[in-house]
Chains A and B, each alone.
Chain A
């Protein structure tokens, strides 16, 4: 099956710092999605990427679809306490009928 490696597993940062996390896959994807999940809630879509090389921003968040189509990163600039949560990447594989695969998540803690 598809393998999605997400790193880092957890991050502890000071408020105001920038954050970077990434996902790599064992095969190409045609869609990359980034989600944020608050405790006990469902994941909420942050950014969707559909083309290799695409760079998309959503406020303080920026994500890129890697040129190789096997990776993606998410950056958060000037972190604030409400950025706390678990961030998941998800990719859609054309090799398996466009099924979605999720990374294992990055737990972000922002220290005020």
Chain B
């Protein structure tokens, strides 16, 4: 079945760039998503990319997709302490039904 893998932890200094990586197995993935989850809060959609795109930029966020390697990354420029959270990568297949999530990357931003 589908699988999504992420590294568990990332620590950066305030003002640096953060890069969170994700790999997935479903070659028929149509949409790939990045969600943010803060302690005690629900999932917040940050950005998404359609599978026929290589890159998408949205303010401080840049998403890169390497479809050949099934690799997705999220770059956060000028990382702030408020960016500290768990970031989930998710893929949605061509049947546009369920999304399959990774186990999340905990981003810690040190002042």
Task: Report if A and B associate in a common complex.
Answer: no
B residues near A (Cβ < 8 Å) are: none
